[in-house]
Amino acid sequence: MRVGLDYRPALVNREGIGRYTRELVRGLHELRFDGNLGLFGYTLKGRRFSREELGLAGSRAELLRLRLPSRILPWMLAKTGKGVDDLVGGCQVYHHTQPNLLHVRSAQEVVTIFDCIYALDAHNSDGPGYLDAEVAEGMTASARRMVERASRILVPTEFVGAEVVLTLGAHPGRVMVTRLGCDHVLTHLPPGGYPAAQDPFVLTVSRVDRRKNHVRMLAAFELLVREGFPHRWIVAGPRGFGCEDFERALEHSSARERVDWRTSVDDAELTRLYSQADVLLWASLSEGFGLPPLEAMACGTPVVTSCVTSMPEVCGDAAFLVEPTDVERIFEATRRLLAEPELAEAFRAKGSARAREYTWRDCARDTLLAYQSAEKSDAAEPKMGGLF
């Protein structure tokens, strides 16, 4: 069986879908399936990662990279009568790793859907405002097309699987959970770890947008400062939708001199920050998976995160779970982990054990099973109407 895979996210995105695509291919390489892979990348931008950084050094996977703007490719395929499966030299299964569907001529299609958060704001003036309404509407329409076309739909958690069925109308028989991995972070962890930080800090790793809840986390951090804790708060992540809310709150914050917002952090530096932080604070309002808590656990750092959406499923009892809309609960959980060494050590131990359960090799193995299932599918399951 030969598999084609949309590799564009791996070439242009350091976080999120880019991380997933790179590490999935690494895992397939570990399983010695790389010789069956045809990777397709299309971007007008120059190379951002070396072949070594992509994990393709020594790999038998074939990478076709076209220097084309993404909007030209659908026109080109229609003009030539080809499918993207033809461009990778033919394949039995083609894997769409991002919500940007390209025409497939004959292969069975597999799609990955990471969350349905956009559906909350699509056609909904009373939505939470996580995305621009027009963007949300477009993403929802794209996700529905993905569900309509796919033989198998991969989701990172059971929570997202239920959302895909209820919101997008997917038949449950098409949905398969392929949990993500976090062991990539160990690549940059030196033997024995890093020395303790000279100045103590609490860490948050995420894009700064409305959904990630930075304004409430800032309010909780202000309470920590008032309590006399000496910590800084390092926020590692680029600007996202609605980041102006956080920027305004930070400008008027009594703790603004103790907040260090770093919009660009490479993988090696991120591992150091995880390892040296006293707590990872990650009280997101909505997630489909959420890698940073597991990455922090892998580095031996206790985690405060949300008790909603996917986070209880991903973290189990290995994180201190809080109601993300309650500033006092966020503050109290963080305060306890900073003030009670025995409690922090218990969460470190549980977190390290939990992180070991999430590997990219396992993600690749489950994905390979999905490819095999898609190849054998000879009839589409019935569709179910979505709720939105």
How many residues appear in the chain? Answer: 388
CA atoms within 13 A on the CB side of 369: 12
CA 387 to chain centre: 25
Q: What is the CA angle 380-116-179, rounded to 5? A: 75
Q: Note the pTM of the prediction, 2 decimals.
A: 0.94
At residue 264, what are phi and psi to the nearest 5 degrees?
-140, 120
Give the integer Cα–Cα distance in Å for 120 and 126: 9
Contact residues for 357 (Cβ-Cβ < 8 A; gap 6+): none
Sketch the domain layout of the chain as residue ranges. 3-181+360-376, 185-355
Q: 380 pLDDT exceeds 60?
A: no
Measure the CA–CA gap between 212 and 18, rounded to whole angstroms: 19
Q: How far is residue 340's CA from residue 221's CA, in Å, rounded to a whole number?
A: 17
Mean pLDDT, residues 33-57 taken together: 85
What are the E-state strand segments in 144-200?
152-155, 175-177
- Burial of 55: CB neighbours in 10 Å, binned 0-12, 13-18, 19+: buried
Number of Cβ within a 10 Å radius of residue 169 = 17
Distances (CA, A) of 320 to 39, 55, 91, 211: 40, 34, 45, 20
Q: Given this chain, do its domains 3-181+360-376 and 185-355 carry the same CATH topology? A: yes
Instruction: Give 383's DSSP letter.
Output: P
Strand partners, 203: 234, 280
Tell me 209's DSSP state: S
What confidence tens digit (pLDDT) does each residue in 240-257 have? 999 999 999 999 999 999
Would you state the pLDDT for residue 379? 46
**Among 318, 309, 304, which Cα is nearest to 358's?**
318
CA distance 55 to 49: 10
What is the pLDDT confidence band of residue 385, given thresholds at 50, 70 and 90?
low
Q: What is the pLDDT of residues 307-360, one digit of tens each?
A: 999 999 999 999 999 999 999 999 999 999 999 999 999 999 999 999 999 999
CATH class belonging to 3-181+360-376: alpha beta
Local confidence band at 383 (pLDDT 50, 70, 90 cut-offs): low
Q: Which residues pair with 201 in a beta bridge?
A: 232
On the question of pLDDT at 192 being above 90, the answer is no
CA distance 169 to 191: 48
Residue type, 82: K
Give the pLDDT of residue 126. 82
Residue with tokens 């076209």: 66
Band (pLDDT 50/70/90 cuts) for residue 184 is very high
What is the predicted pLDDT for the residue at 384?
Answer: 56
Write the class of the CATH domain 185-355.
alpha beta
How far apart CA 325 and CA 9 sit, in angstroms, is 32
Distance separating alpha carbons of residues 175 and 152, to the nearest angstrom: 6
For the ranges 40-49, 148-157, 263-272, which has the lowest average pLDDT? Answer: 40-49
Report which residue type is found at 378: D
Window from 98-102, 114-118, 122-126, 176-180 with minimum mean pLDDT: 122-126
